[in-house]
Structure 1
Amino acid sequence: MGTSDATMVFTNDTSPAGVDDSSSSIPWMDNSTFTAASTEAAPMSKSLQTYPERVAIAVLWLLIALIDIIGNTMVILAVVFSKKLRTFTNVFVVSLSVADLLTGLALPMSAVGLLSPGDTWPWSTETPCYLAGMLLFISSCASLYNLASIALNRLILIKRPMTYRSLYTRRNLAINVAVLWFVAIAIMVVPPLCGVGGFGYDEQHHTCSDLDTHPKAKSFERIQTFLFYPIPLIIIVTSYTIIYLHVRRHFKAQRSLRGGISTSGTGPVSSSSSFQVSDNAAVLKTSQQGRAYHQQLQITKNLFMTVCAFVVCVTPYSVALFIPNNDRYLLFLGVVFTCNSCINPFIYASKHPQFKKVLRRMLQCRYSQIEEPSDALKALMTCCYKA
């Protein structure tokens, strides 16, 4: 049968029954070819989100990245400009800000993938996407280990102040920060080097992250979750629990001491004034120690807020990794995850007593009013005046 007859049979289901077997087989073959060609022309998308959802997430990430970069840069510059902020605890605060800053620098690459209408990486090479994905995960891991180091620092300062100076020397601080960054890098780099997971362009989420399509992607996700979340979280919770119990005992003892002093003050007056002078000196010393203790306690409470913010932002994503058939929602939880990187500067600016003053002067461009200006700030101001 001719080609025209075959076409007629394909397009008309009411053809006469007198069509031979060879004729009926041709339409079946043509239909198969047509379907295959259609599938090849419009392949099934692997995307788990619609394009409008991807655009919304990309806009949110670009906004988070902008706030992140500006805020954390200001926190780092505040320590650079003011000697008063150069405390041992703030070494970890700066390290935390560096980690959050790296997160902000990595997010725009994912926005590029999300905004691309296709299902493949839009550029000729995936190298920028690979580096951005690896940087994002390393910085997130480093953030949590920095928060664990801050918790231990506050615990030792409040509970063992006499050993604090000998333990937190410049050398030990440098080693501590280097070790925590080494651990964060090792957790995220060693498994891919051993063939467990990898980084690059994720075609399902259109982001620069770990590859969900890798044969051992789930194993890599478990390694991430177990090594960079539970261990630091246990350190953080344990440290702040001990701090809370210690502070509660401290204030109970203070109330008892004040009650004893008040009771002794209402009794008979001693014939010797030396006891009164001694008591006044003791009360003054206790008052000064109390103010210093309250200041350290306030700083600890504010730093604890950064821990709470991190836990609230990170926990949903980490828990979701263990729930099956929820890959579609991981990207949305990832947005909540990255929100943490831009929250900390707001906590410092609004609550931390020392950072608050310096950051306010910086926002008002009153650098000459910054307390205890550093040599770097003095040199910068001198250059500006000369210009």
Structure 2
Amino acid sequence: MENISSPDYSNKSCDHPMNYCENNRTDANETATTEQYFHPDFYVLLPVIYSVICAVGLTGNTAVIYVILKAPKMKTVTNMFILNLAIADDLFTLVLPINIAEHLLHYWPFGEVLCKVILSIDHYNIFSSIYFLTVMSIDRYLVVLATVQSKTMPHRTYRAAKIVSLCVWILVILIVLPFTVFARVFTITDDLDRKSCVLSFPSSESFWFKASRIYTLILGFVIPVSTICILYTMMLYKLRNMRLNSNAKALDKAKKKVTIMVFIVLAVCLFCWTPFHLSTVVALTTDLQTTPLVIGISYFITSLSYANSCLNPFLYAFLDDSFRKAFKKMLECRPA
């Protein structure tokens, strides 16, 4: 993700989503000016926020992975998608300390290979969450439709969910591949010759920058969110207008709870990610000046998108009785 991981706003391509920059190459004087926008304590606060997100995200998502893999009753189709969602969030929180280190050091000390890995995982975080939620929404729609029509779903199996999850990962890897190619370590020409891990586009940089933003917006937001909205609209329409027979007067309690949980997880994801993608529209359609307000808003937007990686485990704990019981049982068994 075009994350904010250094106070040098001008040394990272689109470091904050509302700011426009070409190929990360700007005057060092602009960097110095930008660094004076905020009190130094502000730059200490950001690593603290990122560290909390990292600690909570790692703990929560690791617990989700552990429970789903260890508890036999948790091996369901929906939980397979939740497992992959937790793996994607865990993967992102695992590399967040490197972003924190770069923020504190004000330069990139980790080499080009790790630069490509980190920027790739940052972008996996943009696409993987929404794609797995799209798959979960498709699954919910099919379950509701089958229940309404009193049909069985013989092909909806745990094994099939594994195959679909693998296909999602392959798709996300292919989507992120261009960012992996363009990621590299760039040396900023100033008194310190600092290195920065950036997306370095060929000329013309302006075209490639806009193309990458549109690419991310369409594939990471417009297409999946439109699909989800259509699915839920159709789901509500069918539930409202189709006359259910005596065996399917309504979704049973368990299916209702799962559907509600998926909907709430989706809503939280959209709440966290919509400002990020809206800022892309702003970056593409306006010429915002780098002001303290713009920088502050962009930091907030990035932190909000990061926070999504640690919120889902709490939603599962509050909304899913089976997850809560399985986790409690694991804790009870552990001392023994």
Q: TM-score, normalised by structure 2?
A: 0.75
Equivalence for 1:158: 144
CA distance in 1 between partners of 2:185 and 2:95 (Å): 12
Equivalence for 1:46: 31
Select the structure with the greater relative contact order (CA < 8 A; seq sep ≥ 6). Answer: 2
Distance 1:322 1:128, change over 3 A: same
Gaps of 5+ in 1: 1-41, 258-281, 368-380
Equivalence for 2:321: 353
Shift of 1:174: 2.7
SS of alignment partner, residue 184 of structure 1: helix
1:366 aligns with 2:332: yes
Gaps of 5+ in 2: 1-26, 189-193
RMSD of aligned alpha carbons? 3.1
Equivalence for 2:72: 83
CA distance in 1 between partners of 2:255 and 2:197 (Å): 39
- Aligned counterparts, 1:322-361, within 5 A: 322-324=281-283, 325-326=287-288, 328=295, 329-361=297-329
SS of alignment partner, residue 281 of structure 2: coil
- Which of 99, 106, 131 aligns to 1:145? It is 131
Contact 1:106 1:133 in 2 (8 A): no
Q: TM-score, normalised by structure 1?
A: 0.66
- Which of 169, 174, 179 aligns to 2:167? It is 179
Residue type matched to 1:128 in 2?
Answer: L
Equivalence for 2:280: 321
The one-character-per-residue Cα deviations of 1:170-226 (angstroms, maximum 9, x if unpaired) are 453233111111111111113553xxx4366798xx998753887233322221111
Residue type matched to 2:224 in 1?
Answer: P
State the identity %: 21
Number of residues of Structure 1 aligned to a counterpart in Structure 2: 286
Equivalence for 2:178: 190
CA distance in 2 between partners of 1:64 and 1:359 (Å): 21
Contact 1:198 1:217 in 2 (8 A): no
- Aligned counterparts, 1:244-259, within 5 A: 244-249=236-241
Give the 4+ runs in structure 1 shifted more than 4 A. Answer: 47-51, 161-164, 199-203, 206-210, 289-292
The one-character-per-residue Cα deviations of 1:352-386 (angstroms, maximum 9, x if unpaired) are 12112222334xx213xxxxxxxxxxxxx7xx86x
CA distance in 2 between partners of 1:200 and 1:293 (Å): 54
Equivalence for 1:297: 256
SS of alignment partner, residue 166 of structure 1: coil
Task: Name which one, 1 or 2, has greater alpha-carbon Rg.
Answer: 1
Residue type matched to 1:166 in 2?
Answer: P
Equivalence for 2:94: 105
CA distance in 2 between partners of 1:101 and 1:313 (Å): 17
Shift of 1:43: 5.0
SS of alignment partner, residue 282 of structure 2: coil
